[in-house]
Structure 1
Amino acid sequence: MSVEIALRRARVRHGPLEALHGLDLLVPRATVTVLTGRNGAGRTTALCALAGTVPLASGRVLWRSADVTGLHAHARARRGLCFVPDLRGVYPSLTVAENLGLAPGDPAAALAAYPELGPLLARTAGTLSGGERRMLEVSRALLTPATVVLVDEPGLGMSPEVSARTYRLLAALAQEGGAAVVLAEQRLPAGLPDGTLVHELRRGSLVSSREAAELTGR
């Protein structure tokens, strides 16, 4: 198993509070990795640390063994990292079509994945429902040729059918595209592929690591 990106003894502080306590996290390529835990466990902070949107107080971020701790988020994006945050991944004043046009890939691929967006192309993103907006946000991950894909709660606000489709699409980025896909979730979603790795975080520390099959009994 080849490691694509990793946190090494990563500490992140928000003022006097420490959100990550020396976290070691290995993210293999061509694999789905899920970070689970309650609110405040450090799931989102771990994604932000990998993406470069929060600085480390100490520790390192390694990308294919190269130290990228000092690289800003935009430099990591140019290197091949796509980060889809929780409900802050679109421009609300732009239309759906304009938001899709900002991604490097063909917008038709997003509409094939989410045909529900077709009738909404002329609408501004700020007027969409939570589930519609989440489809538009996740579309960025589908249109960006990335080797590292980080998504915070992909299915948030989606119907069960659309949510299940979303996890299949993200799994395909790993299985067919070879990307390292990392999802932050409160609990393990259903339908993820065999070989999915699950890391449980608690209060900024890693408390368990196992394959999803061990948790689901498959």
Structure 2
Amino acid sequence: GSAIDIARLRHETAMIFQDPYAALNPRHSIGEIIAEVLRVQRKVAAQQIPDRVNELLELVGLRPELASRKPGSLSGGQCQRVGIARALAVEPRLIIADECVAALDVSIQGQIINLLLELQQRMNLAILFIAHDLAIVRRLCDRVAVMYLGKIVEEGPVEAVFTTPRHPYTAALIQAIPEIDPHRPLPAQPLPGEPPSPLNLPTGCAFHPRCRYARAMCSSVLPPTHFLHEHRYSCVLEDPLL
């Protein structure tokens, strides 16, 4: 079962990377970059490749004339759209977007997020969106998993996690989101300390050295996992934190 599933997943998964320029070969034209994927994937007949390249460019909001240009002559936002077109060329069911708007200007981030939302609905895609920017996660995602030092500490529907976070790390992250509302004060006690080295993890709950709710047992015992409908978290606390 699982080996076949992983092989199938590889065929049906595509990536969008963080740095839109570094992810594209600077010596190839935009058309060649997308055509190469179509040839390798054997999704369309050779004579239909140019048409499919144009179709993919239009799908991500780029003019087909850009096919002859090199990545160096495009903006960061345009390059990221090419990266999305290349991912779509695989005809994926899952796209993994790794910090794919972090390197872009804030005004362009919104355009790329809107494009991903539109494509997700039109093409029935699943998107695994890896990000530090929680305001973007809230806008784009249906479910969210919060990781601390490589472990998922809380997971659930976006609205549930954002409105009633259960893990102290999640609560601290949400309180640190810069708000449009100038009357809402920033947290009086931002999260203290730094994450320790993943090679030298704390005993017990990995978060305990930075947690203002930590109890004696937290330094020695792994926290219990609580399940609330679709929402789960690993912590000794029982109540919502915000």
Q: Partners of 2:122 and 2:65 in 1: how far apart? A: 29
Q: Which of 170, 193, 196 is residue 116 of structure 2 equivalent to?
A: 170
Match of 2:15 among 63, 66, 83: 83
Question: 2:97 corresponds to which residue?
Answer: 151
Other structure's SS at 2:124 match: coil
Residue matched to 2:156 = 210
Question: 1:155 deviation in Å?
Answer: 1.9
Which structure carries more relative contact order (alpha carbon 8 Å, separation 6+)?
1
SS at structure 2 position matched to 1:165:
helix
User: Partner amino acid for 1:83?
Assistant: M
Tell me which moved more, 85-94 or 156-165: 156-165
Q: Does 1:68 align with 2:14?
A: no
Query: In the alignment, what sits opposite 2:28?
Result: 94
Rounded Cα–Cα distance in structure 2 between residues aligned with 1:208 and 1:184: 15
Cα distance 1:119–1:179, how it changes in 2: closer, same or farther (>3 A)?
closer
Kindly indicate whether the alpha-carbon contact (under 8 Å) linking 2:144 and 2:158 is maintained by their aligned counterparts in 1: yes
Q: Residue 151 of structure 1 contacts residue 183 of structure 1 at CA under 8 Å; is this kept in 2?
A: yes
The CA distance in 1 between the partners of 2:37 and 2:111, in whole Å, is 21
- Structure having the higher strand fraction is 1
List alignment gaps of at least 5 residues for structure 1: 1-65
SS at match of 2:139: coil
Q: Deviations over 1:70-119 (max 9, x none)?
A: 967xx754x31112233353222101121122243722233324445656
1:191 matched to 2:169? The reply is no
| Superposition TM-score, scaled by structure 1 size | 0.54
Aligned-pair CA distance for 1:202: 1.2
The alignment's C-alpha RMSD in Å is 3.2
Aligned-partner residue type, residue 115 of structure 2: L
2:76 paired with 1:130: yes
**How many residues were matched structurally?**
147
Report if aligned partners of 1:97, 1:121 keep a CA contact under 8 Å in 2. yes
TM-score (norm 2): 0.49
**8 Å contact from structure 1 (residues 171, 192) kept in 2:** yes
Q: CA deviation at 1:181?
A: 1.3
The alpha-carbon deviation at position 200 of structure 1 amounts to 1.0
Please say if residues 100 and 140 of structure 1, whose CA atoms lie closer than 8 Å, have aligned partners that are also in contact: yes
Partners of 1:201 and 1:109 lie apart in 2 by 37
In 2, Cα distance between the equivalents of 1:170 and 1:110? 14
Higher helix share: 2
The corresponding residue for 2:88 is 142
Distance 1:128 1:85, change over 3 A: same
Matching residue of 1:179: 125
